[in-house]
């Protein structure tokens, strides 16, 4: 005699369960509420960037202003602010540095800043050997220490260590050669310190010739 197949009890489908499913579907399909932007967004963006000593991404600025997800609106504000600055002859602009935004002084007013810097003790000043090594790394990266020393004609281990302590140079990998020597490259802080948007903004070699 065949054994009876046990029956599985099914939960009755009620009108309430239909309403619950429909409500969940509507909730998933309903669009998120739009981000409410303050009327004085331009002024708020300006205040945020003016008080920051580091570049800020548009999305990060939006979050700081309580308008997460409004990165595009922040970039539109930056464009409007730069138009105002140019129209009013201001000495600064908001420029992209290392992929983020920062208030920077126009090059024509660099002399004013140099005068201010001379009144302060610059503990982060780079020596001639450090600048020389940093330039080689910036233009030749990724590069091994042996090649740096061949170009400089001097030992560079200690100089590289100091540049790494200043977070201007870092190890970016290892070369595919005997001994797998370390490869050196510049950091994001290097771009920030020298006001570069990316390595593509480095001066061409003919621009570095002495006048």
- Interval 50-103: pLDDT, tens: 988 889 999 999 998 888 888 899 999 999 999 999 999 999 999 999 889 999
| 109 within 8 A of 91, measured Cβ to Cβ | yes
Confidence of residue 183 (pLDDT cuts 50, 70, 90): very high
Q: How many CB atoms lie within 10 A of CB 164?
A: 14
Domain at 41-107: CATH code: 1.10.10.10
Rg, C-alpha atoms of the chain: 29
Using left for φ > 0, alpha for ψ between -120 and 50, and beta otherwise, residue 167 falls in left
Q: What is the mean pLDDT of the chain?
A: 81
User: What does the domain layout of the chain look like in residue ranges?
Assistant: 41-107, 128-205
Looking at residue 210, its pLDDT comes to 53
128-205 belongs to which CATH class? mainly alpha
**Domains 41-107 and 128-205 agree in fold:** yes
Residues 6+ apart with CB under 8 A from 166: 124, 126
């Amino acid at each position: 005699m065949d054994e009876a197949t046990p029956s599985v009890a099914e939960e009755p489908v009620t009108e309430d369960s239909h309403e619950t499913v429909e409500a969940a579907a509507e909730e998933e399909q309903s669009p998120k509420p739009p981000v409410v932007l303050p009327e004085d967004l331009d002024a708020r963006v300006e205040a945020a960037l003016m008080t920051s000593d580091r570049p800020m991404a548009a999305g990060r600025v939006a979050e700081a202003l309580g308008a997460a997800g409004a990165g595009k609106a922040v970039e539109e504000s930056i464009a409007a602010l730069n138009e105002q600055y140019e129209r009013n002859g201001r000495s600064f602009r908001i420029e992209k540095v290392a992929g983020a935004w920062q208030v920077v002084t126009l090059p024509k007013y660099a002399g004013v800043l140099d005068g201010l810097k001379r009144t302060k003790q610059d503990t982060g000043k780079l020596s001639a050997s450090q600048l020389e090594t940093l330039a080689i790394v910036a233009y030749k990266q990724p590069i091994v220490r042996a090649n740096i020393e061949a170009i400089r004609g001097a030992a560079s281990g200690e100089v590289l260590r100091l540049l790494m302590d200043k977070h201007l140079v870092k190890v970016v990998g290892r070369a595919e050669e005997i001994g797998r020597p370390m490869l050196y490259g510049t950091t994001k802080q290097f771009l920030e310190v020298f006001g570069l948007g990316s390595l593509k903004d480095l001066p061409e070699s003919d621009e570095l010739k002495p006048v």
